[in-house]
Amino acid sequence: MEPVNTGVTDADRDGSGTPDTASGETAAPDKPDAPTLGQLLLAVEELWPESLAENWDEVGLVAGRPASPVTRVMFAVDPTLEVIEEAVEWGAELLITHHPLLLKGVTSVAATSAKGKAIHRLIESGTALLTVHTNGDSAVGGVSDVLADALGLEDVAPLTAATNGLPEEGIGRVGELSEVTSLGEFAARVFGILPSVAGGVRVSGDKDGLVRRVAVCGGAGDSLFNEVRASNADVYVTADLRHHPASEAREEAVNGRPYLIDVSHFASEWLWLPAAASALGNVLADQGHDVEIQVSTTNSDPWDFILTPG
Ligand SMILES: [Zn+2]
């Protein structure tokens, strides 16, 4: 995306090019318009409040000093070593990823494991890491909202309402297509909006069956079948559909519905990154901060090729 350059900051009311402070000192002499990491976290909290995260989740700052200035932010789905390298090479002082690097307890971050190497590379390069995970899923403009929007859904509502949020916040979304279409055509639309990955898109259901009401959940959504059925969706788009939940959902189907569309976990969440980058850029610009924001170009989908009978 285009760098966000807002020019004069709120803190530079005299137009001198440096922030005005009571003592006349500058907070960050070499980067006068850069927010601190701590200030940037406030903007993140405004968009994706940590209170929206699921109980089991670990969101927030993983590495970094709140007092450090941030001039470049990169968004990515996964904090893999390749993604971290990309952020470091671009000069990002902050990497925001959807998935947590450390979700389970650790007793060592020695650089003898991949996660230890990641922590070392981040700290040694001065790159902060922030997780926006299920809070980014649940929020308005979150992962499933962006997916619903990209598919052209209207009258969109959450599949499950957020415990600590607004009625329009929560996990998954359900909405209506503007007109009835066939499952085959709708699957092609799903395929068309997602970044290209090896696994493609898998569909369960009658290709000529008609669909209008669509449920979506970016990332792994096979725990939401009850909510999907309750929503009367004709088709459910999500990722990581395992054999048993998918098979049982098909057995429970009424008139073949809901049909299932299984997409790449990475691809379903990647769509959110440009939208998130744009939203954060707008909030920071409103606050008078000058930050460049980019979306990672690394494909962190773990699959590289696929063999099919066709
Ligand atoms: Zn995910």
Residue 163 banded pLDDT, cuts 50, 70, 90: confident
Residue 149 CA, ligand 1 centroid: distance in Å:
18
Instruction: Output the CA–CA distances (angstroms, integers) from residue 51 to 45, 47, 142, 199, 221, in the order listed.
Output: 9, 11, 14, 34, 21
Residue 211 banded pLDDT, cuts 50, 70, 90: very high
Over residues 183-209, the mean pLDDT reads: 97
Strands 235-239 and 259-263 come out as parallel
Residue 33 banded pLDDT, cuts 50, 70, 90: confident
Assess whether pLDDT exceeds 90 at residue 11.
no
- DSSP three-state, residue 61: strand
Range of the domain at 210: 140-263
Over residues 228-252, the mean pLDDT reads: 96
307 domain residue, yes or no: no
Residue 301 CA, ligand 1 centroid: distance in Å:
11
Among the ranges given (176-185, 209-218, 259-268, 301-310), the one the predictor scored with the smallest mean pLDDT:
301-310
* Structure tokens given for 269: 């969440």
Per the structure, how many domains does the chain have? Answer: 2
* Structure tokens given for 205: 């259901």
Same-domain check for residues 53 and 123: yes
Residue 100 CA, ligand 1 centroid: distance in Å:
9
Same-domain check for residues 127 and 149: no
Q: What is the dihedral of CA 257, 204, 249, 140, to 10 degrees?
A: -80
Same-domain check for residues 148 and 131: no
31 domain residue, yes or no: no
308 domain residue, yes or no: no
Neighbours of ion ligand 1 (CB under 5 A): 219
Q: Is 23 or 75 the better-scoring residue by pLDDT?
A: 75
73 burial type by CB count under 10 A (0-12 exposed, 13-18 middle, 19+ buried): buried
pLDDT, residue 16, reads 38
Residue 219 CA, ligand 1 centroid: distance in Å:
4
29 domain residue, yes or no: no
Same-domain check for residues 156 and 215: yes
In the chain, what percentage of residues exceed pLDDT 70?
Answer: 90
**CATH code assigned at 155:** 3.40.1390.30
3 domain residue, yes or no: no
14 domain residue, yes or no: no
Residue 164 banded pLDDT, cuts 50, 70, 90: confident
